[in-house]
Homo-oligomer: A and B are copies of this chain.
Amino acid sequence: MEPITSRANARLKAARKLQAKRNRLTAGLFLAEGEDIVEEALSEGILPAETFVAAGRPPDDGLIARLARGGPVHVVDDELVAELGSLGHPARVICVFKVEDLPSRDAATADLGVHLHRVIDPGNVGTVVRAAGALGPAFLSLSAGCSDPLSAKGVRASMGAVFRVPIEHGELPEAGPARVALVAGAELPLWGIDLRPATVFVVGAERLGLPDEIVAACEHVAAVPQALGADSLNAASAATVALYEAVRQRSAAG
């Protein structure tokens, strides 16, 4: 098979458009780059719609064969793969996945979650997805104004947990799990709240925090402990600690 050597190739052009959020929304598709990340998709039974591999440094044949079950595999000049991706050290493989193949909230993930309010940093959003995957099962809810978890940086920071963690979009979840607002300097520590019933942690952006009306709508307000005058943890660290505390309380040994 001759590698694709033209930037103008229609498949490459269509894939490159997915670098922009509005095109991801329109197409219902997103990119995932790197062998470790696409392996995460495969391990969840999610196949790519399309795959691009670097002609000069392809991944191993077994991986290519497994990816080919989902859709066409294109062999592409290394520079064009680098241009499709976002990494300084370019990936050997970049896949296009369908948003509709991602998981939805189910019985296993319904009783623990994190709602992010206007967290614009893609690394922070991705890190929360990763924490939900590592400490959960747990779901993620994103308000308007949050960074897209399916951006290149978001998928990368999640380490592929976007294929495992249900992600919803909307303002503060209304019915369902008790909402626990995490607020810097709040009086009650996390461990002072019973997190064994269904719980969703509500976390704002660093510096800005949560607006008063969001905090007021929550059933509980909790702080992570911090030395007087110390900076608040960032959104991702706060969510990670909160998920840990819920897991600890729910564990038989906790």
Q: How far is the CA of A13 from the CA of B225 in the complex (A)?
A: 43
| Inter-chain contact B191/A253, CB cutoff 8 Å | yes
Does A183 sit at the interface, judged by CB under 8 A? Answer: no
Taking a contact as CB atoms under 8 Å apart, the answer to whether A227 and B137 are in contact is yes
- Closest residue of chain B to A127, judged by CB? B237
Look across to chain B and name the residue whose beta carbon is closest to the beta carbon of A233: B134
Chain A residues 213 to 254 lying within 8 A of chain B, measured CB to CB, are 224-227, 229-234, 236-237, 240-241, 244-245, 247-248, 251, 253-254
Whether B191 and A224, one on each chain, are in contact in the complex, defined by CB atoms closer than 8 angstroms, is no
**Are A135 and B224 CB-contacts (below 8 A) given A231-B161, A237-B127, A253-B192?**
yes
Copies of this chain held together in the complex? 2
Q: Which residues of B contact A113 (CB under 8 A)?
A: none
* A192 proximity list for chain B (CB < 8 A): 253
Q: Interface 1/0s, chain A 146-160, versus B by CB < 8 A?
A: 000000000000011
Considering the chains assembled together, what is the distance between the CA atoms of A131 and B225 in angstroms?
11
- Closest B residue by C-beta to A231: B159
Which 7 A-B pairs have CB atoms at the shortest separation, nearest pair first? A241-B244, A134-B230, A134-B226, A225-B247, A237-B240, A134-B233, A191-B248
